[in-house]
């Protein structure tokens, strides 16, 4: 597929994940809802800058999650992967 990539390249590859577990679908829909706080449905990304996208990504990755004992995705990632270095 080709299209405009909000991160700056000229082609956009879209991968679709088939949900095997019911909890995966809920997590996906929750994440979509969080993203829509910044970009409502039918948002035009052609004028969205890399800086704006990085700010949204940082905000979401530093947002505590109730389902993870109020840890942020960054805290979980760092606690899991840092000891492996």
For residue 50, being part of any structural domain is answered with yes
Q: 3-state DSSP helix/strand/coil percent for the chain, to nearest 5?
A: 55, 0, 45
For residue 56, being part of any structural domain is answered with yes
What Rg value do the Cα atoms of the chain yield, rounded?
A: 15
pLDDT tens for each residue of 4-33: 555 555 565 666 667 676 666 777 788 889
Residue range of the domain that includes 59 = 22-84
Q: Name residues whose C-beta falls within 8 Å of residue 50's C-beta, 6 or more positions apart in sequence.
A: 6, 7, 8
**pTM of the predicted model, to two decimals?**
0.62
Q: What percent of the chain has pLDDT above 90?
A: 34
Structural domains in the chain (count): 1
């Amino acid at each position: 597929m080709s299209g405009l990539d909000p991160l700056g390249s000229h082609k956009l590859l879209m991968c679709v994940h088939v949900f095997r577990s019911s909890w995966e679908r809920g997590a996906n829909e929750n994440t979509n809802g969080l993203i829509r706080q910044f970009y409502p449905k039918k948002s035009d990304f052609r004028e969205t800058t890399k800086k704006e996208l990085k700010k949204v990504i940082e905000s979401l990755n530093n947002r505590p999650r109730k389902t993870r004992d109020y840890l942020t995705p960054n805290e979980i990632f760092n606690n899991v992967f840092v000891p492996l270095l």
